């Protein structure tokens, strides 16, 4: 190196600057953004080292200091509410599509339609992404990741039990679980998690969608949700039977949250589980999973001849309304949103791609399905085609864009728990939930 | 007495204007007191009184963050609304059970521990007291996480221990069993709060003159009578402190619910504090959240007054 007239430090610096120059769409820098010395960025706790790495790159390129904070995902909504009401400075945040309506109505978010290349990005969003991030016709962020609930199974358990293929229907889930149980492979083959927290809605919607059920239509009218033979009634009954009649579900499933379920599944507990799709990567990671290489994904089992639909979601990088009050801060916040959620100079969705290859997080950009690195990474721990098929069959929670959705969701959790516990009857519970939905609709509508 | 703030060479009465008024005020005891207490009082008004008044203002308006620009005055409608709510009554019953069981358990266990510690030599006590205070020093959230691990139905230490001791033959669910869940929270709460109660009782026990016990022994009084007639009356103030403090803390308990159960299973562990939290930060209904907070604060205040009326006699102190 010395011969070339380069010190190691110089080489590293130049390499870093070169990489950074590729990553940042420099031409989009606006003069006013340069006036901002610092930005406040807030996220939930996931892949922190990678997030910090990207922040460091952005800081260097945009010459801005990022004040970064994070909190666990299960507490994210509440923490943001406290921060927004307490007027804590926030400029760029992670956004959950299910909270979009209430956050926009509260005046906390700023739409990004006015910024360059947004239309180009929007055209490349997959399936429900654009809709998930749009409220009252305005787009409120670029996708951080797109995910859905996925049916995972332990291939080794199935082989030991002499089962040739994963279940295609919910009845088969019961039969195969009983078979696994009878051979002493697992006492509780179906690993269920149903703590009354954030994930409960995703789980119930997935079980309902896979039976062909709906909750509300586009105008928020309830669609037979409270009928005795509704898909959601069948789902709740299935959960009860799995736990009490067949005893294929572990007894403590109502205290188990999503992270604990992943840990249990990765430690070899359970043969089947419904988890977020990106957990497939973690469950097959040798450093953290005892069953690495044995966990596979299948399309969600169905009933009533329904298509294997699952509940899906979109998470985004969004700009806050307070950031948009100052033109310079607004420009810099957009640069950051674009840096994280958009393309780099080479035309690649660099952050999204890395999230998938390193962490298994799904993406919201159609071109990435054809990216050779993505396909190779997907085939390493699963089947790329299967991922695409299940992703195409994912749907956001019905009604989640109603401003009262989160309030209804909170009302729903303890009541469904009570129905599962046998403290309330299923149809009565669903009638109560329908009544509450209509009451809230009248109040806010 | 010449006041340090009086202006030299001038009679205060002769001074005019604000300066004169100030100098005259500083000649009185009340004026001096106001001068020194004033800044602290001002801070208190800003930091305590203003938020209390503002929260009352919020509680009589619609403050729904999903409709941030519509804040009509609704009088006591928010109060009526939650008082009519079934969920609130369920939370209230849970809270009453939680508070009553917790307060009794903390007071009784604290008393027993303090009596045992009091019998130990001062050398042992010197080490035992700081050790016993450890749970009290654990932050509430950390306490919740510790108990989450202990209670876990699949790998929890409690199940492991009880199975090893032969008390149960297979792992039990603690947090997802609606009949047990509330008491598991009580247990976690008591574990944290007993140490302080123990130290308060111990301090009171050590202040009892040894002569009283010697005299009672001469009068042939047995241990139960000595406890009843000497120890217990001497612990009245300590009881007052323990009861008031534990009641307030238990009514406010939120962290354990937040970490361990989120109010579940069903609504078995939904306390009033949790109900308030959900209404405020999940449903974004700050108006009705503030109204519930007001009622809890008033109920706590009345409870504390009740304890003081029953237990506090100034002449005894």
Which structural domains are found in chain A, ordered by start? Answer: 26-147+313-379 (3.40.190.10), 148-311+395-444 (3.40.190.10)
Report chain B residues touching chain A, CB-CB < 8 A: 65-68, 152-154, 171, 173, 175-176, 178, 261-267, 270, 277-278, 281-284, 286
- What pLDDT, on a 0 to 100 scale, did the predictor assign at position A97? 93
| A contacts of B277 (beta carbons < 8 Å) | 78
Residues constituting chain A: 445
Q: Closest Cα of chain A to B266: distance in Å?
A: 4
The answer to whether A332 touches A33, Cβ cutoff 8 Å, is yes
| B contacts of A407 (beta carbons < 8 Å) | 282-284
- Summarize the confidence of residues B274-289 as an average pLDDT: 94
For A255, the closest of B173, B270, B277 (CB atoms) is: B173
The separation between the first and the last C-alpha atoms of chain A, rounded to the nearest angstrom, is 69
Structure tokens at A420: 């599962």
- What pLDDT, on a 0 to 100 scale, did the predictor assign at position B125? 86
- What pLDDT, on a 0 to 100 scale, did the predictor assign at position B1? 43
- ipTM value, please give it: 0.83
| A contacts of B173 (beta carbons < 8 Å) | 251-252, 255
3-state DSSP assignment of residue A42:
strand
Q: Closest Cα of chain B to A18: distance in Å?
A: 45
Specify the range with the lowest mean pLDDT, choosing from B61-70, B105-114, B238-247: B61-70
Query: Is residue B5 pLDDT above 50, yes or no?
Result: no
Query: Pairing mode, if any, of strands A142-154 and A272-276?
Result: antiparallel
Contact (CB<8Å) B65/A423: no
Query: Pairing mode, if any, of strands A142-154 and A310-320?
Result: antiparallel
d(CA A239, CA A292): 28
Q: Nearest 10 degrees: CA dihedral of A361, A49, A332, A338?
A: -20
Q: Closest Cα of chain B to A106: distance in Å?
A: 5
Query: Is residue B58 pLDDT above 80, yes or no?
Result: yes
Query: DSSP strand E in A119-183: where?
Result: 134-135, 138-139, 142-154
Structure tokens at B86: 């079934």
Q: Closest Cα of chain A to B279: distance in Å?
A: 9
For B282, the closest of A106, A252, A410 (CB atoms) is: A410
- Give the best residue of A73, A201, A254, A443 to mutate against chain B (max B CB count within 10 A): A254
Structure tokens at A187: 């006492």
Give CA angle at B303 (B302, B309), nearest 5°: 85
Contact (CB<8Å) B66/A105: yes
Evaluate the CA torsion angle B227, B230, B231, B232 in order and state its sign.
positive
Structure tokens at B110: 């604290």
- What pLDDT, on a 0 to 100 scale, did the predictor assign at position A17? 45
Q: What domains can you pick out in chain B, each with its CATH number? A: 1-59 (no CATH), 78-311 (1.10.3720.10)
d(CA A378, CA A368): 11
Give the global pTM. 0.86
- What pLDDT, on a 0 to 100 scale, did the predictor assign at position A5? 42
Q: In chain B, which residue's Cα lies nearest the Cα of A107? A: B68
- Summarize the confidence of residues B127-143 as an average pLDDT: 91
Query: Is residue B17 pLDDT above 90, yes or no?
Result: no
For B284, the closest of A106, A250, A255 (CB atoms) is: A106
Q: Closest Cα of chain B to A395: distance in Å?
A: 24
| B contacts of A80 (beta carbons < 8 Å) | none
Give CA angle at A362 (A360, A363), nearest 5°: 130
| B contacts of A406 (beta carbons < 8 Å) | 282-283
- What pLDDT, on a 0 to 100 scale, did the predictor assign at position A266? 96
Q: Is B50 exposed, middle or buried (0-12, 13-18, 19+ CB in 10 A)?
A: exposed
d(CA A323, CA A38): 11
The answer to whether A359 touches A274, Cβ cutoff 8 Å, is no
DSSP-assigned letter for residue A300:
P
Q: In chain A, which residue's Cα lies nearest the Cα of B154? A: A252
Q: In chain A, which residue's Cα lies nearest the Cα of B170? A: A251
| B contacts of A264 (beta carbons < 8 Å) | 154
pLDDT level of residue B20 (50, 70, 90 thresholds): confident
Contact (CB<8Å) A255/B176: yes
CA atoms within 13 A on the CB side of B159: 16
Q: How would DSSP label each residue in chain B?
A: ---TTSPTTS-GGG--HHHHHHHHHTTSHHHHHHHHHHHHHHHHIIIIIHHHHHHHHHHTB--BTTSTT---B-TTHHHHHHHT-HHHHHHHHHHHHHHHHHHHHHHHHHHHHHHHHHHS-HHHHHHHHHHHTHHHHS-HHHHHHHHHHHH-TTT-HHHHHHHHTTS-SS---STT-TTTHHHHHHHHHHHHHHHHHHHHHHHHHHTS-HHHHHHHHHTT--HHHHIIIIIHHHTHHHHHHHHHHHHHHHHH--HHIIIIITT-STTTT--HHHHHHIIIIIS-BHHHHHHHHHHHHHHHHHHHHHHHHHH--TTT-
Report chain A residues touching chain B, CB-CB < 8 A: 77-78, 81-82, 85, 102, 105-107, 195-197, 250-255, 260, 264, 269, 403-404, 406-407, 410, 413-415, 417-418, 421, 423, 444
- Give the best residue of A191, A201, A203, A255 to mutate against chain B (max B CB count within 10 A): A255
d(CA A276, CA A400): 18
How many contacts, defined by CB atoms under 8 Å, are there between A and B?
Answer: 89
- Give the best residue of B282, B285, B287, B290 to mutate against chain A (max A CB count within 10 A): B282
Structure tokens at A36: 């901002």
- A94: closest CA among A57, A45, A29, A60? A45
Contact (CB<8Å) A255/B265: yes
The answer to whether A216 touches A399, Cβ cutoff 8 Å, is yes
d(CA B189, CA B249): 10
Q: In chain B, which residue's Cα lies nearest the Cα of A193? A: B176
For A195, the closest of B264, B270, B282 (CB atoms) is: B264
d(CA A152, CA A131): 27
- Give the best residue of B62, B65, B177 to mutate against chain A (max A CB count within 10 A): B65
Contact (CB<8Å) B264/A413: yes
Q: How would DSSP label each residue in B166-205?
A: TS-SS---STT-TTTHHHHHHHHHHHHHHHHHHHHHHHHH
What is chain B's Cα-based Rg?
26
Q: In whole angstroms, what separates CA B288 from the centre of its chain?
A: 23
| A contacts of B153 (beta carbons < 8 Å) | 250-252, 255
The answer to whether B171 touches B90, Cβ cutoff 8 Å, is no
- What pLDDT, on a 0 to 100 scale, did the predictor assign at position A127? 77
Contact (CB<8Å) A106/B66: yes
Give CA angle at A364 (A361, A366), nearest 5°: 120
Evaluate the CA torsion angle A348, A354, A357, A362 in order and state its sign.
negative
Contact (CB<8Å) A421/B178: yes
Query: DSSP strand E in A288-431: where?
Result: 295-298, 310-320, 394-395
d(CA B78, CA A22): 56
Residues of chain B above pLDDT 90, percent: 72
pLDDT in tens, A329-382: 999 999 999 999 999 989 999 999 999 999 989 999 999 988 999 999 888 877
- What pLDDT, on a 0 to 100 scale, did the predictor assign at position A387? 85
Query: Is residue B139 pLDDT above 80, yes or no?
Result: yes
| A contacts of B178 (beta carbons < 8 Å) | 421, 423
Contact (CB<8Å) A414/B263: yes
- What pLDDT, on a 0 to 100 scale, did the predictor assign at position A19? 44
Structure tokens at A401: 């864009």
Query: Is residue B56 pLDDT above 50, yes or no?
Result: yes
Structure tokens at B311: 């237990």
For B265, the closest of A81, A107, A254 (CB atoms) is: A254
- Summarize the confidence of residues B243-260 as an average pLDDT: 94
| A contacts of B282 (beta carbons < 8 Å) | 77-78, 81, 406-407, 410
Residues whose CB falls within 8 Å of the CB of residue B189, separated by 6 or more in sequence, listed in order: B98, B102, B250, B253, B256
- What pLDDT, on a 0 to 100 scale, did the predictor assign at position B14? 56
d(CA A221, CA A216): 5
pLDDT level of residue B45 (50, 70, 90 thresholds): confident
d(CA B163, CA B245): 36
| B contacts of A410 (beta carbons < 8 Å) | 278, 282-283
3-state DSSP assignment of residue A70:
strand
- What pLDDT, on a 0 to 100 scale, did the predictor assign at position B315? 61
Residues whose CB falls within 8 Å of the CB of residue A199, separated by 6 or more in sequence, listed in order: A193, A257, A258
For B265, the closest of A78, A404, A421 (CB atoms) is: A421
For A196, the closest of B65, B264, B284 (CB atoms) is: B264
pLDDT in tens, A391-422: 899 999 999 999 999 999 999 999 999 999 99
Query: Is residue B13 pLDDT above 60, yes or no?
Result: no
DSSP-assigned letter for residue A325:
T
| B contacts of A195 (beta carbons < 8 Å) | 262, 264
Q: In chain B, which residue's Cα lies nearest the Cα of A84? A: B65
d(CA A91, CA A66): 10
Contact (CB<8Å) B283/A264: no
- What pLDDT, on a 0 to 100 scale, did the predictor assign at position A56? 97
For B154, the closest of A197, A252, A254 (CB atoms) is: A252
Q: Is A293 left (phi over 0), alpha (psi -120 to 50) or beta?
A: left
3-state DSSP assignment of residue A234:
helix
Contact (CB<8Å) A413/B265: no
Ranges of residues in chain A whose predicted pLDDT is under 50: 1-6, 8, 10-12, 14-29, 31
3-state DSSP assignment of residue A247:
coil
């Amino acid at each position: 190196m010395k011969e070339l007239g380069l010190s190691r430090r110089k080489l590293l610096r130049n390499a870093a600057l070169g990489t950074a120059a590729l990553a940042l769409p420099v031409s989009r820098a606006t003069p006013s953004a340069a006036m901002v010395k610092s930005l406040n960025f807030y996220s939930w706790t996931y892949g922190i080292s990678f997030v910090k790495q990207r922040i460091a790159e952005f800081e260097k390129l945009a010459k801005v200091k990022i004040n970064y904070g994070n909190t666990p995902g299960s507490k994210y909504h509440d923490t943001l509410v406290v921060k927004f009401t307490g007027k804590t400075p926030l400029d760029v945040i992670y956004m959950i599509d299910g909270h979009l309506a209430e956050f926009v109505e509260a005046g906390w978010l700023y739409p990004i339609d006015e910024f360059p290349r947004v239309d180009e990005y929007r055209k490349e969003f997959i399936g429900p992404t654009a809709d998930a991030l749009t409220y009252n016709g305005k787009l409120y962020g670029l996708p951080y990741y797109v995910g859905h609930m996925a049916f995972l199974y332990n291939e080794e358990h199935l082989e030991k039990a002499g089962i040739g293929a994963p279940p295609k229907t919910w009845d088969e889930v019961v039969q195969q679980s009983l078979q696994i149980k009878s051979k002493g492979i697992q006492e509780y083959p179906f690993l269920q998690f149903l703590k009354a927290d954030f994930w409960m809605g995703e789980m119930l919607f997935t079980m309902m969608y896979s039976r062909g059920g709906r909750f509300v239509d586009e105008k928020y009218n309830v669609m037979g949700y409270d009928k005795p033979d509704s898909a959601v009634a069948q789902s709740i009954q299935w959960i009860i039977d799995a736990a009490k009649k067949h005893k294929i579900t572990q007894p403590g499933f109502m205290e188990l949250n999503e992270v604990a379920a992943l840990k249990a599944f990765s430690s070899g507990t359970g043969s089947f589980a419904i988890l977020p799709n990106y957990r497939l990567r973690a469950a097959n990671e040798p450093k953290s999973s005892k069953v690495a290489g044995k966990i596979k994904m299948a399309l969600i089992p169905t009933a009533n001849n329904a298509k294997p639909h699952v509940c899906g979601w979109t998470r985004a990088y969004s700009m806050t309304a307070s950031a948009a009050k100052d033109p310079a801060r607004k420009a810099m916040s957009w640069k950051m949103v674009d840096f994280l959620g958009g393309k780099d100079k080479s035309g690649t969705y660099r952050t999204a791609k890395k999230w998938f290859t390193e962490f298994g997080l799904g993406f919201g950009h159609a071109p990435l399905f054809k990216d050779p690195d993505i396909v190779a990474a997907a085939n390493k721990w699963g089947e790329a085609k299967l991922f695409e098929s299940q992703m195409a069959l994912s749907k956001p929670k019905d009604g989640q864009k109603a401003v009262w959705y989160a309030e209804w969701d909170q009302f729903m959790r303890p009541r469904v728990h009570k129905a599962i516990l046998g403290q309330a009857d299923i149809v009565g519970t669903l009638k109560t939930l329908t009544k509450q939905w209509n009451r809230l609709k009248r109040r806010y509508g | 007495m010449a006041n340090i703030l009086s202006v030299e060479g001038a009679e205060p009465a002769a001074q005019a204007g604000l300066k004169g008024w100030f100098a005259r005020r500083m000649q009185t005891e009340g004026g001096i007191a106001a001068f020194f207490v004033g800044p602290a009082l001002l801070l208190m008004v800003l930091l305590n009184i203003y938020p209390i008044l503002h929260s009352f203002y919020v509680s009589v308006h619609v403050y729904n963050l999903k409709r941030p620009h519509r804040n009509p005055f609704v009088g006591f409608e928010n109060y009526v609304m939650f008082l009519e709510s079934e969920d609130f009554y369920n939370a209230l019953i849970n809270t009453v059970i939680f508070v009553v069981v917790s307060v009794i358990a903390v007071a009784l266990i604290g008393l027993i521990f303090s009596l045992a510690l009091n019998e130990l030599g001062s050398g042992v006590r010197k080490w035992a007291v700081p050790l016993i205070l450890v749970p009290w020093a654990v932050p509430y959230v950390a306490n919740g996480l510790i108990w989450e691990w202990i209670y876990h139905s699949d790998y929890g230490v409690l199940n492991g221990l009880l199975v090893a001791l032969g008390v149960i033959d297979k792992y039990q669910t603690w947090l997802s069993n609606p009949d047990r869940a509330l008491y598991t929270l009580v247990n976690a709460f008591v574990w944290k709060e007993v140490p302080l109660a123990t130290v308060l009782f111990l301090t009171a026990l050590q202040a009892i003159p040894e002569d009283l016990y010697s005299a009672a022994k001469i009068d042939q009084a047995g241990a139960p009578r000595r406890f009843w007639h000497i120890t217990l009356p001497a612990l009245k103030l300590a009881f007052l402190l323990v009861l008031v403090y534990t009641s307030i803390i238990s009514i406010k308990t939120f962290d354990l619910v937040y970490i361990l159960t989120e109010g579940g299973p069903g609504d078995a562990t939904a306390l009033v504090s949790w109900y308030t939290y959900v209404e405020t930060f999940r449903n974004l209904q700050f108006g009705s959240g503030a109204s519930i907070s007001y009622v809890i604060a008033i109920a706590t205040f009345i409870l504390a007054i009740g304890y003081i009326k029953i237990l506090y006699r100034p002449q005894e102190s």
